[in-house]
Structure 1
Amino acid sequence: MAEENLALRVFQTFVGLVGICGNGLVCVVIAKVRFMHTLTNAFIFNQALIDLLGSLLVLLSSLLPIPDPIPPGASGVLLCKLWVSNFFIWGLFIASTFNLAAVTLERYLAIVFPFRYQLLATRKKAIAVILGVWISAFLFNSYGQFIYYYEAGQCKSKLVAHPQALGVAVFVVTYFIPVIIMLIAYVHIAVILKKGAGRIQPGPEAAGPSTGQAPEGQGESLMRARRNTFKTLIIVCVAFTVCWTPNEVIFFLFNLGVAVDFTSVVYIVSVAFVASNSCLNPFIYAIKYKQFRKALRTLFGRSGETLQPVTSVSKDCA
């Protein structure tokens, strides 16, 4: 068991460092490169910020041992309720889930209801949604404050009324509903994009006289950009689902009364999967997101685009 815990701590340290560097780079790129100032990228920036802080806490949790005994007084109570209970880490994990659902709905509205999107998609509303993601995540996660308590140098947890119902509710709100929202939305978006591609397909008469190929129009360019953003975000959501499903299934079964060994290799691996999710997205953006790759080249002086701090957020045409 000690070897498994050591391996998990080493893995969390690695994931934390990679997540801090990768998500920090994403935040800098979006903040500095002007053409990245879109509503969709505002949500991607928020996702990177959440994952950056999550990676930092994963790193700290792997490096900083919990004192035994926990010091008395207010410091001990705060340490128990905020750190030992993993309040901040799980709050960020929930915020990450809610933000993925939010960016999914933003893309859904932009592609399925483009005219309504033009009316609803404003900077103020985007900021309100992002703030709502943070507030709702930590408010929902605050139930743990009523479970953990400090006593005689130890942080203990007490039984609550209907613990199975509480556990199932946590599973449904923080995993099942967001995954269903993302699944339904992206399936519908895929159908709309396929139909849209068919509508803007150029005919033979649009072909150029010398090349025989159709010049790319604005509609076709927009559709390709939307498709690239769609593919990038769906990969992000698939990565989230793959990383979170094992741990969530174990948690769900536990709340249904199934005996779960929280010291087993299976559970430890599921925790490692959860931790790894916070560092995956920057690699996905670098490999798949063309706009992000272009912004990287801009940031490092390989194109003529200008850099500037975030002063405004435009509506995403992609």
Structure 2
Amino acid sequence: MSTQQVLDNKEPTIGKWVCQLLVAEGVIGVLGNLLVCFVILRVRFLHNMTNYLLVNLAVADMLLCLERIFSGLIYYKDCKIIDYVPKTFGGKVAFCRFMPSNFLSWALAYASAYNLCVITFERYVAIVHPLQYARKLTATRMKILIALIWMISFLFSLPFLFTIEASNNPDQACSEFKYPHPLFPFLVGIFTFLTAYLLPITLMSWAYYKIQVTLKRQAKALNLQHARAAAYDLVIARQRLVSMLTIVLGALIILWTSDYIGLFLCLITDRKGLLTLCNSVSYKYFSAICSFAYYFNSVINPIIYEFKYKKFRQGLKIALCSCYHQHNDNRVDIEMVPL
């Protein structure tokens, strides 16, 4: 997440090549996540609860990357190709509140993290509490949960609407960043760090730990009982799926950590603040690198699916090549079976 927009009252100047790289990253992310949606919705054997949740995650990541493209082309001084200034004052208010304020960026970032939490929750119930899966995770309840996730994501991002206002200058869209109260950046920094980063990572890490413990116990029990190969294959398939989702979580932690630490340290100080580094040119480039890593998390998920998710690779071949015929080996598709 770009923190220099909050820390500096001027348009960010991070270098033309850096800005172009960020825009290119957004384009790749949009195309990759769009491909995930296309493959899962197109191929019938991928139509199940977990994959539908992956589509919802891909939509959040795709919108986040799309916002990155518009921010680069419209807002960043070094590579913007559209000098957009709304003609009406109401248009200026809407533009400034939603785009330069980073409201949309944060809302979509929340949605991405919390949708991954929903996927983790679905796998947790399916593996740790399989007998309760059908009763607890009905289609209606999951739709309500997804709707709540999106509502909460936009609700938690509301404070960023109050960081910038429309400009009275007819040639300028937005005024300088202003906080309604000196404690505002401190409270926003604490709240954002806890709710957008620490909370989802803690919940998902705990859930995956419980899932791994359960899967190891099931595999050990099946070995001791000399269970049928189909039952053991089910456990192995679940382990592979959880391994793929754990990699997704690990990528999120690695790619988000530096950006959130920088955000936490710099948002809690005022502009003259205790940390002079936050207002330096070096920090602007460091922030740009962190921002690239942050958005790369939304780009890398389709790549992880391609290398780690066998069913997605099969679906990709079917979706992209009409002449491809999957060889039927008479095995049951057990990779996503909840029980």
1:140 aligns with 2:150: no
Residues 32-181 of structure 1: matches in 2 within 5 Å?
Answer: 32-64=42-74, 65=80, 67=83, 71-153=87-169, 154-161=174-181, 162-163=183-184, 164-181=186-203
The residue number in structure 2 matching 1:21 is 31
- Give how far 1:202 is off: 6.6
1:156 aligns to what SS in structure 2?
coil
2:262 pairs with one of 242, 250, 266: 250
- Give how far 1:303 is off: 2.7
- Give how far 1:94 is off: 1.1
1:195 aligns to what SS in structure 2?
helix
1:145 aligns to what SS in structure 2?
helix
- Give how far 1:234 is off: 0.7
Residues 274-294 of structure 1 show CA distances to partners (whole Å, capped at 9, x for unaligned) of: 121111000000000112112
Residues 170-202 of structure 1 show CA distances to partners (whole Å, capped at 9, x for unaligned) of: 110111010101111111111111111111127
The residue number in structure 2 matching 1:226 is 238
Which blocks of at least 5 consecutive residues in structure 2 are unaligned?
1-10, 75-79, 328-334
Distance 2:207 2:113 in 1: 15
- Give how far 1:155 is off: 2.8
1:297 aligns with 2:313: no
2:175 aligns to what SS in structure 1?
strand
Q: Percent identity?
A: 29
Matched residue type, 1:238: G
Distance 2:13 2:127 in 1: 49
Distance 1:271 1:63 in 2: 16
The question of whether the paired residues in 2 share the 8 Å contact of 1:26 and 1:45 is answered with yes
Distance 1:296 1:220 in 2: 27
Residues 174-193 of structure 1: matches in 2 within 5 Å?
Answer: 174-193=196-215
The question of whether the paired residues in 1 share the 8 Å contact of 2:92 and 2:167 is answered with no
1:200 aligns with 2:222: yes
1:200 aligns to what SS in structure 2?
helix
Q: Could you say what the CA RMSD is over the residues aligned between the two structures, in angstroms? A: 2.5
For normalisation by structure 2, the TM-score amounts to 0.82
For normalisation by structure 1, the TM-score amounts to 0.87
1:272 aligns with 2:292: yes
The question of whether the paired residues in 2 share the 8 Å contact of 1:171 and 1:248 is answered with yes
The question of whether the paired residues in 2 share the 8 Å contact of 1:262 and 1:268 is answered with no
Distance 1:256 1:2 in 2: 20
Change (3 A) 1:132 1:124: same
Number of aligned residue pairs: give it. 300
The question of whether the paired residues in 2 share the 8 Å contact of 1:108 and 1:185 is answered with yes
Distance 1:256 1:195 in 2: 45
Change (3 A) 1:68 1:285: closer
- Give how far 1:63 is off: 2.0
The question of whether the paired residues in 2 share the 8 Å contact of 1:228 and 1:290 is answered with no
Matched residue type, 1:93: A
The one of the two structures with greater contact order (alpha-carbon pairs below 8 A, sep at least 6) is 1
Which blocks of at least 5 consecutive residues in structure 1 are unaligned?
207-215, 306-314
Matched residue type, 1:199: A
Residues 73-119 of structure 1 show CA distances to partners (whole Å, capped at 9, x for unaligned) of: 11111111112212222211111011111111111111111111121
Matched residue type, 1:160: P
Matched residue type, 1:145: L
